[in-house]
Chain A
Amino acid sequence: MDQFSRRGVLRNIMLLAGVAAIPHGAAHALFDGPASLPPATISLLSAVADTIIPTTETPGAAEAGVPDRLQKMLANWATPKRRDEILGALQKIDGAARTEAGSTFAALSPADRLKTLKTFDTAHSGDPGYSKLKELVIQLYYLSEAGATVELRYEHNPGAWEPSIPVTAETRNYGGPGL
Chain B
Amino acid sequence: MFDAIVIGSGMSGGIAAKELSERGLKTLVLERGRKLEHGASYTDSVLPWELSNANMIPEEELARDYPIQGRSYAMNAATQQYWVKDPEHPYSTPEDKPFGWFRGNHLGGRSIMWGRQIYRLSEMDFEANKKDGHGSDWPIRYADIAPWYDHVERFIGVSGSKEGLPQLPDGDFLPPFALNDAEKDFAGKVADKFPGRRVIPGRCAHLSEARPHHEELGRSQCQVRSLCERGCTFGAYHSSLSSSLPAAMRTGNCTIVTDAVVHSLIHDPKSGKVTGVRVIDSNTKKTKTYQAKLVFLCASTIPTTQILLNSKSEANPQGLGNSSDMLGRNLMDHFGAGAAGLYPGLENSFYRGRRPTGFYIPRFRNVTESGEFLRGFGFQGGAARAGWGTKSKLGGPSTVGAELKERLRSPGSWLVYLSGFGEMLPNRDNRITLHPTKTDQWGIPQAHIECVHGENELKMGKQMIADAKAMIEGAGGRVVMGGSKLTIPGDAIHEMGTACMGNDPATSVLNKYNQVHGISNLFVTDGAAMASGGCQNPSLTYMALSARAAHHAAEFLKAGKI
Contacts and interface: CB of A to CB of B under 8 A. Distances in A.
B408 A179 contact: no
- Range class of the A interface residue count: 35 or more
Given A11-B39, A158-B353, A179 B45 contact: no
A8 B401 contact: no
A32 B527 CA distance: 39
Interface in A74-104: 76-79, 82
Q: 9 closest pairs, A vs B, by CB?
A: A8-B218, A4-B246, A158-B353, A176-B48, A162-B352, A77-B53, A161-B353, A1-B249, A163-B178
Contacts of A152: 388, 409
B405 A73 contact: no
Interface string A28-59: 01111000000000000000000111101010
Interface in A151-179: 151-152, 154, 156-167, 171-179
B411 A73 contact: no
- Range class of the B interface residue count: 35 or more
20 contacts: A3-B39, A4-B38, A8-B39, A8-B233, A8-B235, A9-B218, A26-B41, A29-B80, A76-B53, A76-B58, A118-B401, A143-B54, A158-B353, A159-B353, A162-B351, A165-B349, A171-B411, A177-B48, A177-B55, A179-B415
Contacts of B219: 8
A164 B184 CA distance: 10
B501 interface: no
A51 B350 contact: no
A167 B352 CA distance: 11
B213 to A, nearest CB: 14
A157 B223 contact: yes
Contact of A179 (B43, B224, B353, B384): B384
A138 B408 contact: yes
A136 B54 contact: yes
Contacts of B350: 165-167, 171
Contact of A173 (B225, B250, B387, B393): B387
Interface string B50-64: 111111101110000
A158 B47 contact: no
A151 to B, nearest CB: 7
B324 interface: no
B253 interface: no
A156 to B, nearest CB: 6
B358 to A, nearest CB: 11
A144 B49 CA distance: 5
B392 interface: yes
B208 to A, nearest CB: 8
B351 A164 contact: yes
A15 B54 contact: no
